[in-house]
Amino acid sequence: MFKNQFIQKRKKRPINASSMADIAFLLLIFFLVTTTMNIDQGLLVLLPPYNEHNIEQQSIKKRNILNIRINGKDQLLVNGQPMSLSGLRTISKKFIDNHGVNPKYAESPLKAVLSLQNHTGTSYGRYIAVHNEIKAAYNELRNNYSQQHYQHAFKDLPKKHQRQIQLRYPLRLSEAEPVGDFYSKVP
């Protein structure tokens, strides 16, 4: 008889579930805080501010422009000639740091312009790889100058000296709008 009373009393008592909401809320907060989100990464490029009053047309000699194209098959063309990705850094450094010696290359690092254009079918990975090679060429030129004149790596120099070297080797990269069909017949 005692057993039946206990069972009956238990059935009549409501279960207190107020702490369940607290636990669920704490679990939700825990998972929100500990979960990482994948964020799309892009290129870090700092553009100068737009000022429509200071727009001026500059005339650039053809000699000072290195045309770099990527077609829809991810093939690289430099001044119309097929080239491997590994050769792009070397040719870019020669072109930029010519100082007027070779008439095929830029007159000076201050006048050198690297013109990059890709096809609409170019893969993002190939575009990034080409962009990285161009930046690496500039980084190597700046580091070499830093080693020769300051006996330190470029990254270890004070900001004042880094800025001087950046002014000596300014990154002049012109990126044109992607086009639909050019150089599609590369061997």
Strand blocks (E) in the chain: 65-70, 76-78, 81-83, 113-118, 173-175
What one-letter code names the amino acid at 179?
V
What pLDDT sits at residue 11? Answer: 60
Q: How confident is the model at residue 72 (pLDDT cuts 50, 70, 90)?
A: confident
> How many angstroms separate the Cα of 116 from the Cα of each of 25, 53, 142, 159, 172?
52, 27, 21, 29, 11
83, 77 contact by CB (below 8 A): yes
Give the domain ranges of the chain: 81-175
Q: Please state, rounded to an integer, the average pLDDT across all residues of the chain.
A: 83
What percent of the chain has pLDDT above 90? 45
pLDDT of residue 136: 93
How far apart CA 18 and CA 150 sit, in angstroms, is 70
Per-residue pLDDT tens over the stretch 130-183: 999 999 999 999 999 999 999 999 999 999 999 999 999 999 988 888 887 654
| pTM reported for the whole predicted model | 0.69
